[in-house]
Amino acid sequence: MADNNDEIYDVVDRQNRVTGQATRSEIHQRGMLHRSVHTLVFDAAGRLFLQKRSQAKDENPGLWDTSSAGHLDRGEAYSDAARRDLNEELGIDEPVKLFTRLPASLETAWEHVEVYACTTAQRIVIDPVEISEGRYFSLSDIDQNIHDDPGRFTPTFRLIFPRVLDARNLPPKGGAGH
């Protein structure tokens, strides 16, 4: 089973302040606000690695998503969760930089989301329990695929990706970075 419904996560309010804890299954069944992290992994050519979620996942099975994604453990910092998920799902260890935040909404499955980014030259080895496949795509290919068939992508990724395009179209701000 790819998802452990007995894991305990922080429950938060609209301002993302912790108000208690509950099991993963209770949080999802009751639509409680909670936290997740998504990480965008780029290669040196600026291509973005996407994962196709395993069919065993209880949320968005078989859909394309950010490079790695997951819930925060109780009391865990967003950046720590991003680094943990990179290692667990993709087998890489890279420093991450905050890219953007999304407030909890229906499209994010009631998760306050922080999105991180990194660039890597490390070989990615996907966790087959979490991910059925993954590969690098050019941003233009992703944009075209979302336009042609948006239902192949998770709702959260469809919220994040326009921000990636906007950031990539900005003039450089003194130094490389994602």
Cβ atoms of residues 86 and 78 within 8 Å: no
Q: What is the pLDDT of residue 57?
A: 86
Backbone angles phi, psi at 133, to 5 degrees: -165, 165
Q: What is the pLDDT of residue 152?
A: 97
Please write the tens of the pLDDT for every residue from 157-178: 999 999 999 987 654 443 344 3
Any domain includes 54: yes
Cβ atoms of residues 8 and 32 within 8 Å: no
Any domain includes 103: yes
Any domain includes 159: yes
Structure tokens of 75?
Answer: 């009391």
Q: What is the pLDDT of residue 3?
A: 56
Any domain includes 56: yes
Any domain includes 3: no
Q: How many CB atoms lie within 10 A of CB 19?
A: 12
Residue 141 — left, alpha, or beta (φ > 0 → left; ψ -120 to 50 → alpha)? alpha
Any domain includes 18: yes
Segments forming the whole domain that contains residue 32: 8-168
* Residue 72 C-beta-side C-alpha neighbours within 13 Å: 23
> Angle at CA 15, nearest 5°, toward 9 and 16?
20
Cβ atoms of residues 102 and 158 within 8 Å: no
Any domain includes 173: no
State the total domains in the chain.
1
Residues of the chain short of pLDDT 50, as ranges, are: 1, 171-178
Q: Which residues contact 146 (CB under 8 A, 6 or more apart)?
A: 153, 158, 161
**CATH number of 89's domain:** 3.90.79.10
Question: Any alpha helices (H) in the chain, and if so which ranges?
Answer: 24-30, 78-85, 139-148, 155-168
Any domain includes 13: yes
Q: What is the pLDDT of residue 6?
A: 83
